Structure 1
Amino acid sequence: MAAAAADASTAPPAGKGKKKLIIILVAALVLLGGGGAAALMVMKKNAAAAAEDGEEAPVAHKVESHAKPGQPPTYVALDPFTVNLADKETERFAQVAVTLEVDDPKFAEQMKGYMPSIRSNILMILAHKTSAELLERSGKEALATEIMREAVRPMGIELDDEDAADEDAGAKSKKKKKKRAAVHNPVTHVHFANFIIQ
């Protein structure tokens, strides 16, 4: 009788592990839903602001994910970057860890062969930034957009640049630009795992 009582007291309570798993899954779904809702609100706000100015909404952030349902996304973690910034008053540097989210595991494997060129392009972007630009959220978002463009350039995928010269020329002459077909970018998101400016 005492042995049966001892066995019952050492056995883990039934259902406790399942409850913990359910709580973790619900929390993860809430976080993912909130992030998606926030991104949707930002895109709508940008489109509304562009409509008020009489120009078309930028399409740089409208990257469709072609990940298969039920499969986790594919990530390509890059080694951390440490680079001197373009500040003229003082010497400042940034340490940035970047992870790229791609829509296809085959493309992630393909990227590994181009990694020296990809890292070089990202280092060139970072070296031309000032600490003031990178301290602002908008500066980090612009950096993420540039990284998305430069990460695929060595592989022969050319995405449209936002050219200040074209905007100035467009303001002087009212010619309409020809629309190009949208180029698919296999890099769907840029995630910053570490972002230190000193």
Structure 2
Amino acid sequence: MAEEELQMEEGGKKSKLMMIIIIVVVLLLGGSAAAYFLLGGEDDAAMEAGAEQAQGSSDGASMSAPVKTGTALYVAIPNPITFNVPGTTRDRLVEIKVQLMVRGSDAEEQVKMHIPSIQGALNRAFSQANADDLITEAGKATIRDNALKEVQKTLKDVSGNELVEQVLFTGFVMQ
């Protein structure tokens, strides 16, 4: 009788161990399959999009957006731009930390050479701001767009190319 109970306990332990192993295997296979479909689906979509672009370009169709080549690199303006802006109730002091997005290491080197000119362009763009506008997100977007246009214009005059793709505010303080 004691031997029967001992054999039942061993059988119960084996079945529990076997059940745990089966669950782990099912979870691993399910996770692998999910990862394959999630990650593999993006590659398939990218390949299909690439094939469509190649087919569209061979048909003579023009693309609406320009293709941007090169690695996106970021050039930090060394010092934050600090300036006063008028407001309806009071004048405010604004400090903006700026980084410029360029494509390729050649553009990065050229932009670094012209940092003083770029800082002057940023000061010109920011001097047109109003404290009441800078409080809103739309006002910040407007000043960012104006800064991009001013920087591109300055770089076009100095180096012959616009070089900068985006002006990014990495810090924005208004007191």
> Structure 2 length as normaliser, TM-score?
0.55
Q: In structure 1, the residue corresponding to 2:74 is in which secondary structure?
A: strand
What root-mean-square deviation, in Å, do the aligned CA atoms of Structure 1 and Structure 2 show? 2.7
Partner residue, 2:103: 103
Equivalence for 2:153: 153
Structure 1 gaps of 5+ residues are 1-25, 27-61, 159-183
- Aligned: 1:197 with 2:174: yes
Give 1 or 2 for the bigger CA radius of gyration.
2
Structure 1 Cα separation of the partners of residues 143 and 116 of structure 2: 19
Deviation per CA, 1:57-95, whole angstroms, max 9, x where unpaired?
Answer: xxxxx9756233xx4x21011121111113364221101
Distance 1:129 1:192 in 2: 15
TM-score, normalised by the number of residues in structure 1? 0.49
Cα gap change, 1:147/1:63 in structure 2, threshold over 3 Å: closer, same or farther?
A: farther
Is the contact made by 2:155 and 2:163 (CA closer than 8 Å) also made in structure 1?
no
Encode CA deviations 1:162-182: one digit per residue, 9 max, x unaligned.
xxxxxxxxxxxxxxxxxxxxx
Normalized per residue, which structure has more helix?
2
> Which amino acid letter does the alignment assign opposite residue 74 of structure 1?
L
Q: Which amino acid counterpart does residue 196 of structure 1 have in structure 2?
A: V
1:187 to 164, 170, 173: 164
Give aligned pairs, total. Answer: 111
Aligned-pair identity in percent equals 23
- Give the Cα–Cα distance (whole angstroms) in 1 for the partners of residues 123 and 131 of structure 2: 15
Conserved 8 A contact 2:88-2:132 = no
Q: Would the alpha carbon gap of residues 96 and 104 (structure 1) be closer, same or farther in structure 2, given more than 3 Å must change?
A: same
Residues 131-173 of structure 1 show CA distances to partners (whole Å, capped at 9, x for unaligned) of 1111111111111111111112222259xxxxxxxxxxxxxxx
Structure 2, unmatched stretches of 5+, are: 1-38, 40-63
SS in 1 for 2:107: helix
Mark the CA change 1:102 to 1:63 in structure 2 (over 3 Å): closer, same or farther.
Answer: farther
What does 1:1-198 align with in structure 2 at a 5 Å threshold? 64=66, 66-68=68-70, 71=71, 73-78=72-77, 79-87=79-87, 89-156=89-156, 185-198=162-175
Runs of 4+, deviation exceeding 6 Å:
none
CA distance in structure 2 between the partners assigned to 1:90 and 1:63 by the alignment: 43
Q: Does the Cα contact within 8 Å between 1:86 and 1:128 map onto a contact in 2? A: no
